[in-house]
Each structure stands twice: as C-alpha cells, then as structure tokens.
Amino acid sequence: MKLNKTLLAFAICAVFLTACTDDEKDASLTDGSQNASSGINDASTNGLGNGSGINGAGFSGGDYASTLGPEFNDPNNPLSKRTVYFMLDSSEVMPDFIPVINAHAQYLVANPNQRITLEGNTDERGAPEYNIALGEQRAKSVASMMKVQGVSDSQLNVVSYGEEKPAVMGNDESAWEKNRRTEIVYLPK
C-alpha cells in the first residue's frame, strides 16, 4: 500500500515534470499509450487510462504571462490580474473587472500574434453539464468585451471546465466566489 502511494506520488511528479519540461509534443504520448490499453476484464491494467491521462499539458495556467514583461507582474498594473470573477448563476461581467479586461484587450490589439485562452469556471453547486454551459458563457462574456475593442477571433480560444477545476477546494461561499471565474491564460507564441 505504501509502495503504491509512492508510485502514485511519482506518477504525479512525472506528469508535472513533463508539464514543466516538455513543449506541446505530448500528444504523441497520449496516442502511444492508448495502444497499451487493455480490456476491462484484465485486472491490473484495465484500460490503463487509455493514455488519456498523461497529457503533460495538465496543470493549467502555467504562468507564461509573467514572462511577457514587467507590467504582467506589477500589482499596480491591471495586466497582473488575470482572473475575472462572477456572481452566482451569472455570466455578466461586474464593473470592477472591466479595467482588467480592457487592459488585456489593449495588449492583445497591440500584440496581434499573442493568443490567449479564456477558461470559464463555476462553483461546485448544481448540475455538472449545466455548469459547463455556464462556464462557457462566462468565458464568452469576456471574449465579446475583448472583441469589441478590436481583439481578433484568431487570438481568442474559449474553453469551459464548469465545476471541474476549482481554484479553491471548499464548500462555502468563500471558496465558491473564488471558483466562479474566467481565467485569462496567455499562450506561448
């Protein structure tokens, strides 16, 4: 049992390591290990996760933005803020976050080769698939505000993780309010 836990820890470290060291070629690993999959009747390796697991891309948000320039790390600069929060069951951007979205929009207009992913998220309450839809609305609200300012469609990638990727674990309002969010994730050029 202890040995297995060690192995598990190793698996996590190994996966994390690829995320840190490897670039985006991990897809081949996914395909490769899928061939190793075996049936569900096979006790120890059943399905072996079908390779779906080890896509090193995991651990989202790898903080690429902080390498783009000092303004992304200056707490007084809105570019240092890359999370937009929402009210319960709402995808309406609150006024507090408009300067943050505008700052990123202006940066993207000035840097037309820069791409971002807007990751929409919800708190844990309610139906998981409904939350996927709600998270997408939150990401798209941010996207449409950016587009109005001239950010091109090709610079914006939208994905919703619904309630599946909480920023904070916990089941009270203090955790929920941190999980109802859209993350602005800068992608390596």
Per the rule left: phi > 0, alpha: psi between -120 and 50, beta: everything else, 58 is beta
**Footprint of another protein on 84-113 (CB under 8 A):** 89
Question: Do residues 116 and 182 lie in contact, with contact meaning Cβ atoms separated by under 8 Å?
Answer: no
36, 87, 94, 98: which one binds another protein (CB under 8 A): 36
20, 23, 55, 70: which one binds another protein (CB under 8 A): 55
- Interface with another protein, residue 41, by CB under 8 A: yes
- Interface with another protein, residue 167, by CB under 8 A: no
- Interface with another protein, residue 14, by CB under 8 A: yes
- Rounded to 5 degrees, φ, ψ at 161 are -105, 5
- Rounded to 5 degrees, φ, ψ at 43 are -55, -55
Q: What tokens appear for 68 in the block?
A: 């783009």
End-to-end, the C-alpha distance of the chain in Å comes to: 44
Q: By CB under 8 A, name the binding residues for another protein.
A: 4-5, 7-8, 10-12, 14-15, 18, 27, 29-30, 32-34, 36-41, 43-50, 52-55, 57-60, 89, 117, 124-130, 132-134, 136-137, 158-162, 164-165, 169-171
